[in-house]
Homo-oligomer: A and B are copies of this chain.
Amino acid sequence: MALIVQKYGGTSIANLDRIRNVAKRAIRVYNAGNDVVVVLSAMAGETNRLMELAGEIADDPSKRELDVLLATGEQTTVSLLCIMLESMGCPAISLLGYQAEIVTNKAFGRARIVEIRADRIKELLGQRKIVAVAGFQGRDQQGNITTLGKGGSDASAVALAAALKADVCEIYSDVDGVYTTDPNLCKKAKKLEKISYDEMLEMASLGAKVLQIRAVEFAKKFNVRVHVRSSFKEEEGTMVVEEEKDMERLVVSGVTYNKNEARITLTKVPDQPGIASRIFTPIADAGIVVDMIIQNTRKGGLTDLTFTVPKSDYQKAMAIQKEVAESIGTEQVLGDEQIAKVSVIGLGMRSHSGVAAKMFTTLAKENINIMMISTSEIKISCVIEEKYTELAVRILHHVFGLDSS
């Protein structure tokens, strides 16, 4: 007997046949004597359809009202699932975000969960009902509907699992687990049986699109065991759990890459206090998120400054920097969109030296030039020319012993 939260993403409930499969899966777990809470996204494509509909009316639709509109997506799926479950003879009840008392702040479109009052759900589980909760949505203190932003359903599920002290939170999608690297790019990628929250955080933020980073943060904070798996297969996926002793055997547990960034370099910047602020404040004001920043001091009180921004913000960032350069007397503003970031991630780095050196040597052997380097406790990232991405990922995957046999 366990309490299990299952979250199904858009492709897992894209039509009535798939919703039927989800119902069968939930019933199987329920019939084994477990308490089951199902968290659903909207059907695949529905949220985008609604966004476009609103976009036809206004360039910048009212954020409050957009959330009211978007919330119909999960309202539809939870009610359909419950109709399905009940028609199969299984007692079920749907709860929308406000009914499940998922209380958020009032940041429409990107709300944060503040509190979940789980009494109602517990009571319904006590009546042996499957409880289907609309993911992605909540309510603020005033009772307005809010939505949690992209991937918010994962966050809903993990937060509910935390509030309910669930034994496990299963995240179902069309991906069957976390791999040592992108299987589309490297045929020797292996599915990981387990991964720690910290490694998963680095994986997620670097582009391994399996589980939203917010959900991982939540899981880590409340120590929720997350099982990432596929709704189209029976086999187990990857457990995302607290760090365990036996996890440390692997020094590197994954290799990731990101082709969605661009690089901007300012040369011969006067090296004065306050100069970094003058460069990055207008970027922040424009809502652009900077990833890596590297500063090399030159002789004569001058410095070169390089940073990366999302490719979609590249033109805007370049325009801003050209203005900044003029006002502070920078020599040149150089840009490069043909870059990629390749990273190796592993808890083992904390106790094993030489990972960085091995990474640099490996890339050098293939004549891949490293443009930027950044490191964290469990991650080393290198920016390289985009055209070498696949080669770099495969060779790193190999030298760090991740290839499947």
Contact = CB atoms under 8 A, between A and B. Distances in A.
B61 A87 contact: yes
Interface in A59-102: 59-62, 64-66, 68-69, 71-72, 75-76, 78-80, 82-84, 86-87, 92-94, 96, 98-99
A143 B82 CA distance: 17
A87 B143 contact: no
Interface stretch (A49-57, A204-212, A359-367): A49-57
A65 B53 contact: no
A370 interface: no
Chain copies in the assembled complex: 2
A68 B78 contact: yes
Contact of A53 (B53, B69, B80, B99): B80
A144 B92 CA distance: 14
A82 B99 contact: no
A58 interface: yes
Given A57-B87, A64-B93, A75 B82 contact: no
Contact of A16 (B57, B71, B78, B145): B57
Contacts of A53: 16, 80
Dominant SS among interface residues on chain A: helix
Interface in A374-389: none
Contacts of A59: 87
A56 B78 CA distance: 16
A108 to B, nearest CB: 12
A39 to B, nearest CB: 15
Contacts of A83: 54, 57-58, 61-62, 65-66, 69
A69 B58 contact: no
B69 A87 contact: no
A82 B96 contact: no
Contacts of A87: 57-62
Contacts of A93: 64-65
Interface in A121-145: 143-145
B56 A16 contact: yes
A83 B66 CA distance: 7
Contact of A80 (B54, B80, B144): B54
Contacts of A64: 82, 93-94
Nearest to A91: B62
A381 B76 CA distance: 45
A59 B19 CA distance: 17
A62 to B, nearest CB: 4
A79 B84 contact: no
Interface string A244-256: 0000000000000
25 contacts: A19-B57, A57-B80, A57-B84, A57-B87, A58-B83, A58-B86, A61-B86, A62-B82, A62-B83, A64-B93, A64-B94, A65-B80, A65-B82, A65-B83, A66-B83, A68-B75, A68-B78, A68-B79, A68-B82, A68-B94, A69-B76, A69-B79, A71-B75, A72-B72, A75-B75
Interface of A: 16, 19, 53-54, 56-62, 64-66, 68-69, 71-72, 75-76, 78-80, 82-84, 86-87, 92-94, 96, 98-99, 143-145
Nearest 4 CB-CB pairs, A to B? A58-B87, A69-B79, A68-B79, A72-B72
